[in-house]
Amino acid sequence: MSLDIRIPIGLLFTIIGAILVVYGLVSNPAMYQAIGINVNLWWGAFMLLFGIVMFVVGRRKASQAR
C-alpha cells in the first residue's frame, strides 16, 4: 500500500476538468452573460492542467521508487 496521493487527485481533476472543458465548448454562450467569460471552459482547462501535472509527477515518483 504505497499509493501516491497525487495519482488519485490527478485523475479526479483530469476527469472533472475534461468534462468542464467539453461542456464549456458545446454549451450556449448566452449562459455566461452574468459573468462575462466562459468560466466552464477556463476553470475546466485549469483543472485539467493541474490534474495532468499531479498525475504525471505522481507517476514519475512511483516509477523512480520501483
Partner 1 sequence: MSAARRTPLIAAIPKMFFPFLVILPGMIAVALTFSDGRLKLPAKPDGSLDFDMAIPVMLASYFPSGLLGLGLTALMASFMSGMAGNVTAFNTVWTYDIYQSYIKRDASDSHYLWMGRAATVVGILLSIGTAYLATRFNNIMDFLQLVFAFVNAPLFATFLLGMFWRRATGHGAFTGLLLGTVAAAFHHGLTLPVGAVAGIKGGWMTADVLHRYPSEMAQNFWTAIFAWTTCFVMTIVISLATRRDKSDEALTGLVYSLTPKPAEDPVAWYRRPAGFGLIVLVLVTILNIIFW
Query: Could you list the residues that contact partner 1 (CB under 8 A)?
Result: 16, 20, 23-24, 27, 31-32, 34-35, 39-40, 43
| CB 23 to partner 1: min, Å | 5
CA–CA separation, 60 and 56 (whole Å)? 6
* Closer residue to partner 1 (CB): 11 or 16: 16
Distance CA(20)–CA(34), nearest Å, equals 18
- The three cell numbers locating residue 4: 501516491
- CB 20, min distance to partner 1, A: 6
Q: Which of residues 30 and 66 has its CB atom nearest to partner 1 in the complex?
A: 30
| Residue 2, C-beta contacts closer than 8 angstroms, at least 6 positions apart | 65
